[in-house]
Chains A and B, each alone.
Chain A
Amino acid sequence: MSIEATVVNTATKFVPMHLQIKAIHRALKVKNKLLKNTPFKPRKVPEFAELPIPDVNTLALDEIDVSNPFLFRQQQWQPYFKRLRDECPVHYQKSSPFGPFWSVTRYDDIQYVDKHHELFSSEPIIFLGDRPEGLPLETFIAMDPPRHDVHRKSVQSVVAPQNLKEMEGLIRERAQEVLDSLPTDKPFDWVQAVSIELTARMLATLLDYPYENRAELVYISDVVGGNAESTGGTYADMDETFKAAADMVKKFTALWHDKKRREAAGEAPGFDLISLMQNNEHTKDIVNRPLEFMGNLALLVVGGNDTTRNSMTGGVLALNEFPNEFQKLKQNPSLIPNMVSEIIRWQTPLAYMRRVAKQDVELGGKTIKKGDKVLMWYVSGNRDERKIDNPDEFIIDRKGARNHLSFGFGIHRCMGNRLAEMQLRILWEELLVRFDKIEVIGEPDYVQSNFVKGYSKMMVKLTRKT
């Protein structure tokens, strides 16, 4: 545990965590002010201005910088990664705005790095950039064994298939409500009305969060995942980030105590994350270890949000770009489960995970030095011609559709993968019985980030089934 974490956990016995976060924030502000006119520069949060990205073929290899948070928005990622895969599959960029880093871009190399956690550490964070100063949340996605294993085991039953069976009915009902209320006489924004709304409902179900406040979960996730310093996102205002964190701690702590009271009053324990933590030996007192408590919650909220949301939008976009596949689907709805895997491959909602080399490692003819940052670009590996036939085609009955990289491999492999697949399956089952046409109008808007590959807006027009 870091010194910061020990201090916070000890202090929590006396001072509520959300007040501590406010205090850390004040102290950082003072520190950064004092450092301003000294050689010790305060840490600067980068702000990114969008410039047109040059054609990759006009660049020398060492000029290629795939950390640019506009690479997806400007639809340049395919030629950039193809050039790296073909000419320099293990590539070093020595001076990005996020510092130097390696890019691993071929399927097999990515699988190798992901699997070898003894060579490549997930600590202290899995974004390219640093985490915001002063918020050392303890999340197991950014821990190595043995700590990782202990933490993961204590919460994984919340998304285990057994538990999902319990939740399926509720998730389906809530999806039906949303789809039944969609307009069919005019275009609307699919991202807001469907993708965000359905993921928020799912998260509220998973956490037993007050249902009417579910938009708060979306907001927290956007602030954490959209941090400028970590991913080149649009949240550069640290005042806002700290306020969101403090607010989240307060609400979840209250939720914890409320649940305890209800259970003490005889209510049966639920199948939500907080109930499960309260009934697990390792986590029953986790509320007293707030960085870990918050870490687990933040991981589920963020992990389950952008990813599923952008797969819900990406699937509609893919079927519009490949209209024959939509015909195939309507003729044979039993292809839905296979199509769900293909959507998740084609979209690759999280572009990469980061590692740090624990020792010098030879890979692709290069020597990665101990301490270097390494990005496994899932988004590139999923389009690797060496591994996948016609990788840029969206084929709903693709053979081996499950063999994609989007969930990662090894001990950190996505814990929510079955939940994500279930949600997408339910969405498509319910869409097919209602609508004959799902038309994308114009171009979607893309998210600014080097980490989240997603959409901020996509106009859609529906035609009801007759």
Chain B
Amino acid sequence: MASIKMIEHDGTEHEVAIEDGKSLMELATDNAVPGIDADCGGDCACGTCHVIVGDKWFPNTGVANNDEQQMLDMTPERASTSRLACQIKITEAMDGMVVRLPEFQM
């Protein structure tokens, strides 16, 4: 099974099966991974789907556009590989990807 691993701030791991075409945010909320609020429903307008992508996988997630950069900028826990999960499109090629969740969503 192709899957992605999401690790909560306290270390709890969630392995979720890849579903092509969904966003990472949808994948997380559909699988009830806690800590992704997604208040704006995936419109890149709330910043509450923040994830930190594993270094190795970061280039595979595409490039954050201007809107996303601006929203990420308001997150105190922003790291160099931060992304908004609603802006990452899932593909089969992400099998094995690891992302960490911040302690808080803003």
Contacts and interface: CB of A to CB of B under 8 A. Distances in A.
A112 to B, nearest CB: 9
B73 A153 contact: yes
A407 B45 CA distance: 11
Interface stretch (B14-22, B36-44, B54-62, B82-90): B36-44
B94 to A, nearest CB: 26
A121 to B, nearest CB: 15
Given A152-B74, A403-B39, A418 B46 contact: no
Contact of A161 (B39, B71, B106): B106
B45 A114 contact: yes
A381 B44 CA distance: 18
A111 B71 contact: no
A270 interface: no
Contacts of B39: 402-403, 407
B76 interface: yes
Contact of B74 (A156, A402, A403): A156
Contacts of A111: 40, 43, 45
A162 B106 CA distance: 10
A403 B41 contact: yes
Interface in A277-319: none
Interface in A408-434: 409-411, 413, 418
A160 B106 contact: yes
A418 B47 CA distance: 13
A149 B73 contact: yes
B76 A162 contact: yes
Contacts of A145: 70
Contact of B70 (A149, A160, A409): A149
B40 A409 contact: yes
A145 B73 CA distance: 12
A161 B103 contact: yes
A456 interface: no
Interface in A367-422: 402-403, 407, 409-411, 413, 418
Contacts of B43: 111, 115, 409
Interface residues of B, number: 21
Contacts of A253: none
Interface in A93-152: 111, 114-115, 145, 149, 152
Interface string B5-46: 000000000000000000000000000000001111101111
A12 interface: no
A157 interface: yes
Nearest to A411: B70
A403 B73 CA distance: 22
Contacts of B104: 160-162, 418
A410 B45 contact: yes
B47 to A, nearest CB: 7
B30 to A, nearest CB: 13
Contacts of A411: 70-71, 74
A156 B47 CA distance: 14
B7 to A, nearest CB: 19
Nearest to A152: B74
A418 B41 contact: no
B91 to A, nearest CB: 26
A448 B65 CA distance: 42
Contact of A160 (B44, B67, B71, B76): B76
Interface string A269-280: 000000000000
Interface string A85-96: 000000000000
A402 B70 contact: no
Contacts of B40: 111, 403, 409
Nearest to B104: A161
B45 A115 contact: yes
Given A111-B40, A161-B106, A409 B76 contact: no
Contacts of A418: 104, 106
Interface string A151-194: 01100110011100000000000000000000000000000000
A410 B38 CA distance: 13
Contacts of B37: 402
Contacts of B105: 161
Nearest to A115: B45
Contacts of A156: 74, 76
A149 B104 CA distance: 20
Contact of B47 (A152, A153, A160, A413): A413
The 8 nearest A-B residue pairs measured at CB:
A161-B104, A409-B45, A160-B76, A115-B45, A402-B39, A410-B45, A409-B40, A403-B41
Given A407-B39, A413-B47, A413-B74, 4 more contacts: A111-B40, A115-B67, A145-B70, A410-B45
Interface of B: 37-41, 43-48, 67, 70-71, 73-74, 76, 103-106
16 contacts: A111-B40, A145-B70, A152-B74, A157-B76, A161-B103, A161-B104, A161-B106, A162-B104, A402-B38, A402-B39, A403-B39, A403-B41, A410-B45, A411-B74, A413-B47, A413-B74
Interface of A: 111, 114-115, 145, 149, 152-153, 156-157, 160-162, 402-403, 407, 409-411, 413, 418
